[in-house]
Each structure stands twice: as C-alpha cells, then as structure tokens.
Structure 1
Amino acid sequence: MSIVLEQVSKDFSGAPAVNDVSAQIEDGELFVLLGPSGSGKSTLLRAIAGLTSIDHGRIVLHGRDVTNVGARQREVGFVFQNYALFKHMTVADNIEFALRARRVRRADRRRRRAELLRLVALEGYDNRLPSELSGGQQQRVALARALAHEPRVLLLDEPFGALDAKIREELRRGIREIQRAVGITTMLVTHDQDEAFSMADRIGVMDRGRLQEVGEPRSLYQRPGTRFVATFLGGANLLLGPYGYRDVRLGESYFEVDRWSDALRSGDEAAVVVRPEDVVLAPMRDLLSVPVVGTGKIVDLKFIGSNERLRLEMNATETLASAQRPGAAMFTIEAVRTASDVDSMPLSVGQKVYVGFKHMHALPTPISSLRLVGGGGRTADSIARMPLVQELAERMHIEPLYYDDVDALPQHVRGLPIVAAGADANVAPALDLLERGARQVLLLATPEPRVERMLIYVEASSFGRDCVLAAAASLARHLTIDVGMLVRDTEDDGAGSYRDLLDLRNLSLNQHGLDLRTETFRGSLAQAVRERLVTSDEPTLLVIGLSAPERCSDLVDDLQRLLREQPPAAVLFVSGRDRTQTESQSQAAAFSL
C-alpha cells in the first residue's frame, strides 16, 4: 500500500475536522477525496503531507510511519489550488526550487526540468514569469514543480477550482495522462462530482469529518450505502417500501435486493434509491417494458440539451412513500428521458402517466424513518424540539412521524421509534417496543439531550451484532461525534477477548464504513459505563445491543439506576434477530403511514 490511514483524527477548537478516518490507497492509484466544503477533506490531505499535525491515529507512506515526520522528509509532492508559484521566479526557477533545496547538481536540475516541461506540454516556457501564463499553464507548472524531486506520493488540493470549465476539462485529462505515465500514487481533493467520476480509480466520500464511503465510481453511484452519498453523487429519488423475501415491494411490483443481510426480515421498512434515469414513463400501462409501480401526474417538464427532466406527483400508498416525508399523502418523483425517448413518446405537463422503475437500490440502513412517540411526560411535539432529534431529522433529511403514545403506532413497528425516559428513568417503554418487533428504539434520557460521543456495547458472539453496528453507524454518520466500543474481557480467555475486539472493529469498518476505538472491560456493564460517564464531560449516546429483546430485561435494574444516578444523554437499544426465528415470509407485509 502507498498510503495507509489508521483512525486519523484532527480537532480545531474542540470540534472534529477529521474524525477517525481509516483508508488504504494502492500503489499507482488515483484516489479522489470528494465532499462538500467543510467536510474535512483538505485538512486530511494536509495531514498526509505533514502540513498539519494530527491528534490521534497513524499515517503510513510506503510502509514507513510518518506520523511524526516533517513534511520535507515524507517524499510527497503537493499542488495547491492557488498554484502557490513564486511570482518573481521564472518557470525554470519555480520547477527547480525543490531540487536546489536538496542541493541537486545544476546539470541534473536542467535535465529534470526539461523532462517535466515536456511531460506537462510546456516546452520552451522556461524563461517566462507566472504573470505571463494562463491559469491552466500556471497549474501545469505547479504540477511539474511538485513532481521535480520525484516524490512517491502526489497530493492535489482542489487543483482546478480557479479555472474556467473548458480549461478544467483539458487539465483533468492532462493530469490523468501524466499520472498514468509516471505511475505515481495520487490523492486529489475536490467538491466536484463530475471531476471525481472522470478521474478517479476510487472515490472516498467525506462529510462532517468522516469518510462515509469508499468505492469505484460506478459502484458508488449505483449502490450507495447512505442517503448522503446517494444524493451527493447525483439525482436520487428516496423512497420507502416493505421488504419481502430478498426483495422490496414498491407500489405494484417487487424488486430484487442486490445486497441482502441476515439482519433483514420480511415486513421491515426499506429505504431505497431510484435514479431519475431509471424512472420510465408511458401514457399507457402496456407501453412500459419495466415493472409498473403506479401512476403519477407530470407537474414540471424541462428540456435541457440532450435530456428532458420531469417532475411527477404520486399518491403515497402502503407500499410506496417518500423516504424524506414518510407521512405525506403525496410525494414527487424526478425522471430523466433521452432525446430519442422524447421524440418517440412526447409527454406534457398535467398528463397522467404510468410509472415504472428499471432498477432500484436498497440502502443498507435499518433507520428508514423517525417515529416520535409521546409518553413519560413528553408529547411527540416536545420530543421533536429536542436538540438531538432536530439534528437527526435535519441531517438525515427525514420529516419525523408523530404518535401520541405507544398504542398509536402501527402493529408492525418500523424505522426508529424515539421515546423519552421521563423523570422516573423508566426504560420499560423502549423494551416494550422491542418486544413488539421494533429493531431499534432511541430512549432520550435527559431533558435536552446533545451528543458528543457514542459508546457501543454488543455481545461479540451475538447474532445481532450486525444489526447493532448497522444502527450505530447510521446515527454516527449523521452526528459529529467520537465513537467507541466496549468489549467484555473474560479473565479465562484474554486472547479470545482480543479476537472479539478485532472482529468487531473489522466488521464495523468493512461492512458499515465506521471505524471506532475499542476498549475492554471486566465485571458489570453498567459499572463500566458509569465509570466512563463519570470520567468524561462529553454527553454520551449509549448503544446497547443484544440478540433478542427479552434479554434486555436482565439489564433493566442496572440501567434504570444508571439513568437516575449518572444518565447518558440517550440510549439506543438494538435487537438482533435470533437464529431460531422462522424464515421470512415470501410476501411483503404492507406498512402503515
């Protein structure tokens, strides 16, 4: 591996800019860090270059730990967005600057300069000043200078941001060709999706300091793991439908699930992504060559170049609803049609059409909706105003559903029910919801819960650990928090505890994209949690995972004492499916809105 990052973290004024980022970049790979402004991607790049120190973790370049090594000794070339050329120096002097600093002989400097000018197609520009060059030419000089001392890693921070569209496109192709010719491992930072797709071997998507997902461009676009990645990489219709047996029902049709997990079961609520280009429309049902999901009305139509973009309104049903507004009676669908589709089948605003999907992708998240349940002296409205709930709703782009009490919930409890503990610190409402079939329940333990840290406990051998890690990762991706996991250390088998610790961390990172810090404990779980709450002033979200709801009752007394004496901000209870549970039914149960 050329670049290995292990739980790299960096805080500024107590706020995490980079949060437990782990990644491996292959030799000769062009890896693109993609994310919105403020996501931490440039901070991470500067940390790799040695221009910014890190607070936690390890950085390894070509097998050498450089975490505490200065920038000059890291064998890294860096290209800045604003070129950072020396304005008073000629092109030749700019390129040779790093070589002079390394006391390279004059003849060797000239030979290397000539090679690089030929490589970046600027032969004959040796004696020009930066002011005599275009923006694209200046960036090529900056690239040549970064490559002059033959670094083993090349880092580029938004290198095309200051250029116009045509020059950006030309420079993208040029840099990609140069990178392939030289064979140097390269990491490029950008907020431009087209740039990332056109250049990357793999893309790492960052948001709120976390590396949300890593994958090849096509795979990330077609099979994203989170709502954020799905919507950030392009147009996306986010919808809800019930799981069947290895499929999801959307409206009138069933669609095969491309990634099935044993943690899923028939009737669970699925959040799915349908790209606008996968939506097919026709004025008559028989004209659709793909599965029909229902009918809609065209409310907007725009012709843009070679495509027609449409927006439709559809009625929500028990098997098809909006994942962003699950309680809405109507929702919108976006569709894209090619010019040939438009010519062969013209459509107009106000027209009723049949709607079908070529393809859908089920997001691997158990938290498909937020359901606020009154009780414990709190109404659903008051729960909605709590800071943690507001933060989750805003960042997950979900409009919560409101219920006066537990009895108002549908018989099959789906999504994430959120309840308040009340003054008596009663956890019974949460456990009752688990008994009724809820996969997870968030119990708000303090009046105004805010969260800065997540602490997870799951039995290492539990069949439900995948459910716990999936739920924890779904929340952690949307909160700017540190994440830790407690693993029980058995005195009889210390090696076994260590294996459990590694297994859980690897499962979390590889299956759910969440790296976490692990630590062992002995004795009572409640005592271990209490000790960590007492020694930290960070409001904590405690995640408790067990293989079946009834096993949670063993912790009721300890947890209720804990909530009264040293309460965390909130507790997320997660129930996994027991191995003895019967196989899922072949038909998907409808869900109530």
Structure 2
Amino acid sequence: MSITLDQVTKHYAGAPVVNDVSLDIGDGEFFVLLGPSGSGKSTLLRAIAGLSGVDHGRIALHGRDVTHVAARKRGVGLVFQNYALFRHMTVAENIEFALRVRHMRAQARRQRRQELLRLVALEGLDQRLPAQLSGGQQQRVAVARALAHKPEVLLLDEPFGALDAKIREELRRTIRQVQRELGITTVLVTHDQEEAFAMADRIGVMNLGRLLEMGAPHDLYSRPATRFVATFLGAANLILARCTPDGVQMGANTVAAAERPPGVEEREVVAVVRPEEVEVAASRDALSSAYLARGVVNEVVFTGALESLRVRLEDGAQAPLLAQANGDAGASLLVTRTRHEQRGFEIHPGQSVAIGVRRVHVLPTPLSSFTACAASAALADALSRQPLLAELAERMKTRIAMRAEPQLGVPDAACAADSPFVGTTAIASQTDCAQRAEWLLRRGAKDLLVLPEQAAVPQRVLIHWMGEAARSATLAASASALRHLSAEAVYVGIFPEQSASAHPQHGMRELLDARSEAQLAHGLEMRTELRFGDVAQQLARRLAEAPAQMLIVGVAELTRFAERFRGLLDGGQWPVLIVYRGSP
C-alpha cells in the first residue's frame, strides 16, 4: 500500500478532530476524502503530509513508518487551495524552487520544468509572474511545483475552491489526466460531491472526525450504509419503514424490489429513496413502479436538464413517516424528472398525483428512531426534550415519538404492553429504573436508552456485552450510535477475578477478536481495556473515572437483570444504551 493509517487520532482543546481513523490507499490510486467543513479531512491530510503531528496511531508511506518523520523527508507533494506561490518569482522559478533546494543541476532543472509545463498545459509561460496568470493557471503552476521533485504521494487540499465552475471542471480533467499518466498515488480533500464523483477511484466520507464509509463512487451513492452518507452524497428521501418477509413495508404498501441487508429481521428500518427513483403519475394505474401514496405538488423548479419537485403526502393517506432533518413525520418527498418524463406528464403546483418508487435501499442500521416512554404523556413529552436524546435525533435525521405506559409507574406489573415497541425506547433514569428497564425488555423493547435528566453528548463511549450471543448486536448498535457522536469508543472486556492470574492470555485474545470484528464487520474503530471482577461494579468504576461518558451494554438474557444493573441504572449519572436480542 502507498498510504497506511492505523488508528490515527488528533485532538484540539481536548476534543478529537480526527478520531481513530484507519485506512489503506493503494499504489497509483486516486482517493478522495469527502466531508463537510470541520469533519477532520484537512487535518488528516496535514497529518499525512507531516505538517501536523498525531496524538495516537501510525502513518506509513510505501511501507515506511513516517509518523515522526519531518515533512520534507516524507516524499510528498502538497497543493493548497490558495496556491501558495512565491509572488516575486516567475513560473519557472516557482517550479524549480524545490529542485534548487535539493541542489539539482541547472540543466536538469530546466528539463524537468519543461516536462511539467507540458504536463499541465502551460508551455511558453515560464517567465510570467503569478499576478499575470488566471486562477486556474496559478493552480496548475502549484501542481507542477508539487510534482517537481517526483514525490511518491500527491496531496491536494481543496485545490479548486477558489475557482469558478468552468475553470474548476477543466482543472479537474487536467489533474486526473496528469495523475493517470504519472501513476502517482493521490489524495484529494474536498467538500464537493460532484468533484469527488468525477475524480475518485474510491471515496472516503468523513464526519465528526470519523471515517464513516469508503468505496467506489457508484457503490457509495447506490448502497450507502449510513444516513449521513446517504444524505451527503446527493439528495435522499429517508423513510421510516418496516422489514417484512415480503419486502419493505412503507405505510400500507410493501415494496418487494427493495434492496436490504442480509439477515435483517422483521423490524423498523430506515429506507433510502433517491429523488430520481420516485415516479409521479396522474393515477395509480398509470405508474410503472410500486405505489406508495398520493400527494400534492408543492413546488416545481426547472433546473435545465432536470425538473425538481417537492410533493407532500396527502392528508389521510396511509403514508410512511419521513425522517427529515427536523424529525417531522409526513414531510415532502423530493422528486427529480428528466425532460422525457416532463414531456410525458406536465405538472403544476397544487396538482394531486400518484407517487411510486422504482428502487428502495435499506440502511443496515439497528437504530432507526426513538420513542420517549414514560408513565404519562406529559412525562414522555418532557423526556423527548432531554438534551442528549434531542441532539441524537437531530444528528440522525429521525423522529422522537412519545408513548405513555401507565404500567411504568408499577414496574412489577404483569400486564403486557398494548402495542409493539418501535425503534429505540428511551426512559428517564430514576428510582427503580433497573426494574422498569427489565419490564420493558420483557415486553418487546430491543434497544433501551436510559437517560439522566441533564446528560449531554458524551466524549467517550464504553462498550461491553454479557455473553457471546449479544456480541454482534452490541457492536452493530455501537457503530450506529458512534457515527453520530464525536466520541472515543472503548471496549471494556471484563472477566472473573480468578482469571487474572489463571488465564490472562484469554482476556487479551478476547480484546483482539473484539477489535477485529468491530473493524471488519461494522467499520468501528475502538480502543480496548481489560478488567477483572464483577461486571456491573467494574463498569460503574470505569464510568466514574472521567466525566462525559456513556455506556453501551449488550445482554442476551434477563435473568437477575434488575438485581445486576441496579447500581448502574437506578438514579444513574450516565446515559446507558441496553442492547437486547434474546427472547423475553
């Protein structure tokens, strides 16, 4: 591999800006780091270049560990957005600068300069000053200068940001052509999705310091694994649906052709429908795709080759709940139509239409939505505004439903819940919380979030599971939650006290296996810790060691649950997500 990053972490003011990033980039690959401002992508690029140190992890270039090697000795070329040309030097002098520093002979410098000017299509402009060049030409000079000393890796930090659209497109083509001709491993940082699609062999999407997903552009767009990637790589309609044996149920209708992850049981899921996969017609019979609902066209926008619509589902329609940024149910669908579709069926604002979907992709996330559950409607409403719950729902672009369960006031009640529990159930941390949690788990809740009144977004998430049967589900839920948290993940392996002296190697193997499965199966980077003693006591001690922590714990059976977790849950100070996949 040309570039290898292993659990690279960088903190500023105590907060992780780059959070446990591991990545392999192949020889000659054009890799794009894509993400919004503040996602950590430029910091990661600077760490690869050697312009910024790392607090943890390892960086290797072509098999050589360069974590603590100076930037000038790493063999990389770097291009910035602001060109960083020497204003008083000519084009020729700028390009030759790195060669002169390396004491290359004048004739060899001139020959290399001419090669590079031809490569970036600037022949004949040797003697001009930067001020005499256009923005696009100046950036070409910056690229030529970065390539002058024949680096093994080329790093581009948003090089097109200051250019207008047409010049940006031309320069993209030039750089991609140069990269292919030289076969140089290249990493581009950008927040522009179109730029990433046009240039990348592979894209890595970053948010909150984490590398969320990697893959070929088409694969990431068509089959994203996370809500953030689904909505950041182009427009997307996120729909709360339900997996069934027959397909994916959205409202009253089931789409058999939906793409869903293997092994997903019957449960609530988040479905992605791209705007171009939505069809509108005058009637249900006129649709060539699976019927979803009827709607009213709120907005029609002409954008040239495409027409963009916003269609609100009609009142009374048995429609899906849409997971939008504000969590509102029944929000409008975004639809795009080609010129051919426009000619076949003209649409105007206020028009009633039938809505169909051609293709649905189900996200492999176990955390779909939240339900604030309390003994009364007023208490459930208050819980829905708890800071951590509200922040998570906003970041996940999902809803918080409210549910009154009077039996929660009598936690030893034997009656069954009136209806199935949907999504992640949230309850307040209070007296008898462990008993109330067991009551809910025995009556169908699968993921249960216990929230202290003022718990805020955590800086560290501790992960533990009790029994191998809970392992996979716990890792999946942890990965899903941590994609929306700028927090460090730590797996705490806890074994009986007598194991400390008798079989310590077993504990170490468990930590390595857990980290490997988290990385390979769930894309989750996590640290590991080994402890010995009672599980609940050790977890409580670890939580008490630092502020702003959260616990995710998996359980496979509920025997003595309330007794074991009373110390953690009853009036606890820490948010706890309980992942349960056993039978009640």
* TM-score tier (shorter): over 0.9
How far has the Cα of 1:159 moved from its partner? Answer: 0.2
Separation in 2, partners of 1:51, 1:327? 41
How far has the Cα of 1:449 moved from its partner? Answer: 4.2
CA contact (8 A) 2:327 2:394 kept: no
2:441 paired with 1:434: yes
Match of 1:260 in 2: 261
After superposition, give the CA deviation of every residue in 1:499-538 in whole Å (9 maximum; x if it has no partner): 43233223222332221111222222123223323332x3
Match of 2:549 in 1: 540
RMSD between superposed Cα atoms in Å:
2.4
2:374 paired with 1:374: yes
**Count of aligned pairs between the two proteins:** 570
Separation in 2, partners of 1:445, 1:370? 16
Runs of 5+ unmatched residues, structure 2: 409-416
Counterpart AA for 1:557: E
Separation in 1, partners of 2:188, 2:377? 52
CA contact (8 A) 1:277 1:337 kept: yes
1:418 corresponds to which of 405, 417, 426: 426
- TM-score, scaled to structure 1: 0.91
CA contact (8 A) 1:17 1:40 kept: yes
Separation in 2, partners of 1:455, 1:407? 31
Structure-to-structure mapping, 1:97-496, within 5 angstroms: 97-245=97-245, 247-250=247-250, 251-262=252-263, 264-266=264-266, 268-315=267-314, 320-324=320-324, 330-375=330-375, 379-405=379-405, 411-422=419-430, 424=431, 426-445=433-452, 447-459=454-466, 461-462=468-469, 464-488=470-494, 490=499, 493-496=503-506
**In structure 1, the residue corresponding to 2:83 is in which secondary structure?**
coil
Structure-to-structure mapping, 1:28-107, within 5 angstroms: 28-107=28-107
- TM-score, scaled to structure 2: 0.92
2:580 paired with 1:575: yes
Counterpart AA for 1:414: V
Separation in 2, partners of 1:357, 1:476? 31
CA contact (8 A) 2:320 2:330 kept: no
Evaluate the alpha carbon distance shift between residue 274 and residue 577 of structure 1 in structure 2; reply closer, same or farther with a 3 A threshold. Answer: farther
CA contact (8 A) 1:273 1:361 kept: yes
Match of 1:559 in 2: 565
CA contact (8 A) 1:441 1:573 kept: yes
After superposition, give the CA deviation of every residue in 1:324-382 in whole Å (9 maximum; x if it has no partner): 38986633111111111111222222222221111011111111111111249981232
Evaluate the alpha carbon distance shift between residue 38 and residue 86 of structure 1 in structure 2; reply closer, same or farther with a 3 A threshold. Answer: same
Match of 1:527 in 2: 537
Match of 1:26 in 2: 26
2:528 corresponds to which of 518, 521, 534: 518
Separation in 2, partners of 1:5, 1:325? 33
Q: Comparing 138-147 with 446-455, which one deviates more in the overlay?
A: 446-455
Counterpart AA for 2:580: S
CA contact (8 A) 2:369 2:393 kept: no
Counterpart AA for 2:253: E
Evaluate the alpha carbon distance shift between residue 329 and residue 30 of structure 1 in structure 2; reply closer, same or farther with a 3 A threshold. Answer: closer
After superposition, give the CA deviation of every residue in 1:533-579 in whole Å (9 maximum; x if it has no partner): 3332x32111110224x25x34x3343224569x452110001257x
Evaluate the alpha carbon distance shift between residue 572 and residue 261 of structure 1 in structure 2; reply closer, same or farther with a 3 A threshold. Answer: farther
Counterpart AA for 2:446: R
**In structure 1, the residue corresponding to 2:256 is in which secondary structure?**
strand
CA contact (8 A) 2:328 2:399 kept: no
Match of 2:414 in 1: none
Separation in 2, partners of 1:65, 1:442? 42
Separation in 1, partners of 2:238, 2:75? 44
CA contact (8 A) 1:246 1:260 kept: no
CA contact (8 A) 1:240 1:270 kept: yes
Counterpart AA for 2:289: V
Q: Comparing 382-391 with 354-363, which one deviates more in the overlay?
A: 382-391
CA contact (8 A) 2:450 2:569 kept: no
CA contact (8 A) 1:451 1:569 kept: no
Evaluate the alpha carbon distance shift between residue 220 and residue 403 of structure 1 in structure 2; reply closer, same or farther with a 3 A threshold. Answer: same
Separation in 2, partners of 1:24, 1:219? 18
CA contact (8 A) 2:17 2:208 kept: yes
**In structure 1, the residue corresponding to 2:178 is in which secondary structure?**
helix
CA contact (8 A) 1:327 1:401 kept: no
Evaluate the alpha carbon distance shift between residue 257 and residue 525 of structure 1 in structure 2; reply closer, same or farther with a 3 A threshold. Answer: farther
2:510 corresponds to which of 479, 482, 500: 500
Separation in 1, partners of 2:519, 2:246? 24
**In structure 2, the residue corresponding to 1:533 is in which secondary structure?**
helix
Evaluate the alpha carbon distance shift between residue 544 and residue 261 of structure 1 in structure 2; reply closer, same or farther with a 3 A threshold. Answer: farther
Separation in 1, partners of 2:427, 2:14? 30
Separation in 2, partners of 1:449, 1:157? 34
Determine what percentage of the aligned residue pairs are the same residue: 49
Match of 1:509 in 2: 519
Separation in 1, partners of 2:95, 2:359? 50
